Amino acid sequence: MTSKKKQNQPPAAEETPLCKEIYLKATKPVTCDGCGDTSLIDKGITYMQHLTEHGDRMNLCPRCIFAVKFRQASTREPFEIHPGDLQFDKLPNRYQSAWMRLRQRFTKDIHNGMDTNKAWSSACNKLIDELGMRHIYERDCMLAAQAAKFAAIRKNIEKEVAAVKKKIKAVKEEINNAIMAMAKARLELKIAIQKHGGLSDADEAMEELVAAMASVREAWEKI
């Protein structure tokens, strides 16, 4: 599925998703770009964002998502979705009838006391089978699961890399401090020898130099 660039799109996310179709849960009402309806994506509703070739996003409500999947299942030819193309009265009669049956089943199950999520899932599964979209649905579920898995792996890797960088920075500071201490001890040893201040002064300076060298060795071992 490809989409024509649309004006006044919401700003793109900071990270590009691993697939062009991502599913989000609305935190506030969202206008559907497929049918233009302002009430089908309310707070808490799961909707789809399609990433276009231009980097813009089209928000699609559940009804438009199924309409797109139905078209994908019905044709092997690539097609474009433009804003407003998925208005209900423009959809195939077969899909319109199936959607009306979905609404009737959902309403009936809710009236009979079924949990909202279970009622919606049951109605959607029947719609998928009625319209012959099971293979499309299973493929998209697999792709979405893989994308989520790889995103989690990438996030963990980035977290580990950040931790290593932080550790390296800390070790570098320790090394610099150790080198400064070693240089100071060396200077004190040189002064003690030049002044012939006695072996005790030289021995003390030598011990400080050895300690500083050991600190440098320990810092390197932490890298």
Q: 193-208: per-residue pLDDT in tens?
A: 667 655 566 666 667 7
pLDDT at position 133: 84
User: How much is the mean pLDDT over the chain?
Assistant: 77
Are the CB atoms for 67 and 34 separated by under 8 Å?
yes
Phi, psi of 47 (to 5 degrees): -135, 170
- Residue 32: pLDDT band (50, 70, 90) is very high
* CA 139/CA 133 separation, integer angstroms: 10
pLDDT at position 56: 76
pLDDT tens digit string along 61-119? Answer: 999 999 988 988 887 777 777 888 889 999 999 999 999 999 999 999 989 988 888 88
* CA 155 to each of CA 54, 148, 152: distance values in angstroms, whole numbers, following the listed order: 25, 10, 5
pLDDT at position 28: 92
* CA 7/CA 175 separation, integer angstroms: 55
Dig out the tokens for 196 from the structure.
């012939």
Using the structure block, give the residue that is written with the tokens 């438009």: 64
Q: Specify the range with the lowest mean pLDDT, choosing from 5-19, 32-46, 90-104, 150-164.
A: 5-19
pLDDT at position 222: 64
pLDDT at position 139: 74
* CA 8/CA 57 separation, integer angstroms: 10
Q: Is the pLDDT of residue 10 over 60?
A: no
57-95: b (≥16 Cβ within 10 Å) or e: bbbbbbbbbbbbbbbbbeeeeeeebebebbeeeebeeeb
* Beta-sheet strands, E only, within the chain: 2-3, 21-25, 46-51, 57-60, 80-81
pLDDT at position 120: 87
- Residue 4: pLDDT band (50, 70, 90) is very low
In the chain, % of residues over pLDDT 70: 74
- Residue 27: pLDDT band (50, 70, 90) is very high
Q: Is the pLDDT of residue 175 over 50?
A: yes
